[in-house]
Amino acid sequence: MGAAEAPRRSRKMTKVLRGFQRQECDPAGRLSAKAGRTRRAGGAVLAVAGLLALGGCADLLQAAGPPSTRYTLTPKSSFPADLPAVSWQLVVDRPVARGGLDTNRIAVQPTPTEVKYFAGARWNERAPRMLHTLVLESFENSGRIVGVGREAIGLRADYRLKLELREFQAEYYDGAETATVHVHIHAKLVQGTLDKIVAAHSFRAAEPVEGRGMAPVIAGFDHALGKVLRQVVAWTLAEPEGGSRRPTLAAGRPPAQ
């Protein structure tokens, strides 16, 4: 390539890329007619710009937007004073969740049949995986059970705890200006040697979000999940005793159905 030809090539590349920078996309993500006219600018240059166009409708030459803020929640460490201490061992299986919740995106429902996600915010890991860690740490923080862990550590379990995450979203029903966070976990306690379900229970909590922005929403998730975690730990430790040693929860009531 001659010295005079290089500047001409550079100017041609700049002209073509500016054409793509001004492009618009239809709902299928196809290039507009204006962008299509740049195909006459040259085969090699067009090939490069065409690959960029596959990215969709974003302004292709602008810097990427800020990364999503990552959030996590906290395990619980405060429990009723009469929480029973146990000598048996427990394995907590990894929780399962329906498709809309089996993600690290933070779910929001504007209607009972519609699931969306907050933009620019994600959980630090997929919700079931995060829940798994928080449940284990909450059991450990209770100080009432020593033998608790994941299946992967090879613990010989007397009982297994199986959890299903059924609700884990903020709701803005009926045009509400502020959200309510809903958490619903269904638990099954399985006797390890017989592989028999000895107890099952659903735990729910709802927490109004106070304020605007993501910080109050995350606080709502933390408070709602915290209520459920305390109930799951208390119920699990008491249930093998037939519930006769079930600890006192808020207002002296058993875990909510």
Q: What is the pLDDT of residues 80-119, one digit of tens each?
A: 999 999 999 999 999 999 889 999 999 999 999 999 999 9
- pLDDT, residue 11, reads 53
Alpha carbon distance 254, 257 (integer Å): 9
Q: Cβ distance 184 to 116 under 8 Å?
A: no
Domain ranges of the chain: 10-53, 69-250
For residue 166, what are the contacts with CB-CB under 8 A and spacing of at least 6? 97, 98, 184, 185, 186, 202
- Rounded Cα distance between 88 and 241, Å, is 11
Residue 220, Cβ neighbours under 10 Å: how many? Answer: 23
b/e sequence 87-99, b meaning 16+ C-beta within 10 Å: eebbbbeebebee
Domain 69-250: top CATH class: alpha beta
Q: How far apart are CA 57 and CA 45, in angstroms?
A: 20
pLDDT at 1: 53
pLDDT tens per residue, the chain (257 residues)?
Answer: 555 555 554 454 444 334 434 333 333 333 344 444 444 444 444 443 443 343 433 333 334 456 789 999 999 999 999 999 999 999 999 999 988 999 999 999 999 999 999 999 999 999 999 999 999 999 999 999 989 999 867 778 899 999 999 999 999 998 888 899 999 999 999 998 888 999 999 999 999 999 889 999 999 999 999 999 999 999 999 998 655 455 554 433 344 33
Cα–Cα nearest to 233, from 94, 122, 130, 85: 85
Question: Using CA atoms, how far apart are residues 6 and 14, in angstroms rounded to an integer?
Answer: 12
Phi then psi dihedrals of residue 208, to 5 deg: -65, 140
- Contacts of 179 by beta carbon, 8 Å cutoff, 6+ apart: 108, 170, 171, 172, 208, 209, 217, 220
| Spatial CB neighbours of 165, under 8 Å, sequence gap ≥ 6 | 95, 96, 97, 98, 101, 127, 128, 131, 184, 185
Whole-model pTM above 0.75? Answer: no
